[in-house]
Structure 1
Amino acid sequence: MAFIVLTSPLAFAASSTDLSVTGTITPNACTPTLSDGGIVNIGKISAKDLDLTSNTLVNTQPMQLNVNCNAANMFALNAIDNKAATSLADNWFGLGETNALEKLGIFRAVIKSALADGETVQAIYSLDGGTRWERTNQIGPGELTSVGVNRPLPVKDLTMELEIQTYIARADSLTLTDEITVDGSATFEMKYF
């Protein structure tokens, strides 16, 4: 019994570690908006107008993306593909599936021009959460998109002229016996630095 009493403090000795939570709450905020309510309506497309062996461009629509901040901020847009499992290609957003669970097509947001506080700027993107930045001409899923050279610039008002390009998958990969609803969806989320 004496043995247990003498060694029990050693058995209960434990190391410890600390957990810290840090960050910043900023009074500066930005609001992104898309023209046309962010809706691209490609209308009805006849199955016979689809290319049999390659994706068919069925619509290009200009759209303006505005980000308005109450003060200059370093930020990026985090592009989230809400239909990612249906995309036919990396860096493109998915359009949903057919009734036979076939990937229907893809769309992308091409950046035609960008103005930051009235000045022409270069669009940039990061694939690693904002450590490295490179030039880009589109907003792609899983990417952070901003403006600057090798890091985001502090910007109060950003305007990007976009072209939304919509492609339907090659007809020989789709079951086209019933009407199919095109159902692409993306979210552009603000990320501050």
Structure 2
Amino acid sequence: MSRLGFYFDSSSCIGCRTCQVACKDRNRLEVGVNFRKVRTFETGVYPDPHLYHYSGACNHCKEAKCVKGCPTGALNTAGDGTIQHDKEKCIGCKYCMWNCPYGVPQFIEERGIMGKCDSCKDLRDKGENPICVDSCIMRCLEFGDLDELAAKHGSNLMQTLPILPSSSITNPSILINPKDCALNPDFVEVEV
């Protein structure tokens, strides 16, 4: 069975956060909770500074630490390789959040349970894209079969950047086309 995941083109992302806002709106998330988050980083120094953005959500990892850390089975790996969350089984213990090296699962206080990106499974079941993909004005995001995405976008794709945990920890289902400066290990996150 093929694995599904996200492709992100950091060389085209302008940091507009439309993907983040569309996801937040669709999932009716309260202030402070984001299933997709765009972060901005600076590298280099004057006279040669650089800026890049990273749009991150659940990486639907092959070795998902959140699934392994969930005591109730609320998190599980679906047949398409995505990590799905069963709200009925969730007790809000936060073990998934503590186990995920990417910090993806979020506690939704008003519901008393955890939540995370499910790659808009209900939309995908109807043949549509995840909302973040369709909302991206620069077309930086795609979702699909990882092998097909890799064939389409070339050989310079990565799963790890200096801002992310090593992909060897979880084997994430993400392919990143990095902006050159995103490979610089000397970076500072910019609060926007």
Q: Same fold per TM (> 0.5)?
A: no
Shorter-chain TM-score range: under 0.3
TM-score (norm 1): 0.24
- Asked which structure has the greater RCO (Cα within 8 Å, sep 6+), the reply is 2
Greater per-residue strand proportion: 1
TM, length-normalised to structure 2: 0.24
